Amino acid sequence: MAELTYRDAVARGIAQEMERDNDVVFLGEDIGKAGGVFKATVGLYEKFGPLRVRDTPISEQAILGAAMGAAMTGLKPIAEIMFSDFFAVCFDYIANEFPKSRYMTNGQVKCPLVVRTGNGAGSRFGAQHSQSIENWAMMIPGLKVVAPSTPLDVIGLMAAAVRDPDPVIFFEHKSLYATKGEVPDGEIVDTLGTAKIVRPGKDATILALALMVPRALEAAERLKAEHGIDVEVIDLRSLVPLDTQTVLASVARTHRLFTVEENPRLCGWGAELVSIVADEAFYDLDGPPVRITTPHIPLPAADILEDLALPNAERIADRVRRSLEG
């Protein structure tokens, strides 16, 4: 058992799969000798060499085009798009090309690739480098979408993503890279489409993802200590496939639902979860579902304004308390 940072877990997860399978290759901007702009790929170039760890030009379209071609011809590429905001530059590949290749060829062509990317706010990078865009990917048929919140989940879900026969979007939260967690020795493999109950509770269910998971947990501890409110927190981990069974079972126990989303409010992933619960567990609810989100605005670069825009533990706890007591 070792304590790893989230960023070191990224490198360990990729290395585990590259050691296991020579068909796994890695490409992206500055991922090689530089070790990645977020230092999440340090040591991979030295370990696996320039044929399998390839620095690319500054062209998101070239990166994903090369990855798709490699996947279609038998390799298992991991492609890095440095900031998730840059999906807008190469969105044709993400929306129209590799998600649809297996369907449009009747299964003759598979596209087993992983696109990993730095996602989310908290680093003061401004409106074009701080977005949380899980909902962009979630809406596209043919993509699988994961967003781990801990070093252990980074490694396990990376393994599951690389071994999956379909394209997977792997969101790494930039504000979690320095966080630490216990990770066991040996091979770690998880399962896509499985949520985790990270804090059991009986009075309400909070659904969270990535950076919002530790903030929801902190809010839950505040609610318990200050108001005696016992909240269950679920780390969704995966948006596609979505573990609706865990969510619905929790709502059936607690009878209240809250989502904590870093996405802008309009069309965030929480809206889909609320819709599912309303369809399938309406009579289990004792009150309306509540979404706690970022406002529908471009994110500011100023530290005070960015912090104000994002859900934090205090805001989450206050909104849950007022809803349950109201």
Residue 156: Cβ within 10 Å count: 24
Length in residues, the chain: 326
- Measure the CA–CA gap between 67 and 98, rounded to whole angstroms: 9
**Structure tokens that stand for 200 in this block:** 């059991």
- Catalytic residue flag (residue 296): no
Nearest partner of 166 among 71, 95, 251, judged by Cα: 71
**Main-chain phi, psi angles of 198, to 5 degrees:** -90, -15
Residues 129, 227, 255, 296: which is the catalytic one? Answer: 129
**Structure tokens that stand for 45 in this block:** 């170039």
Catalytic residue positions, numbered: 129
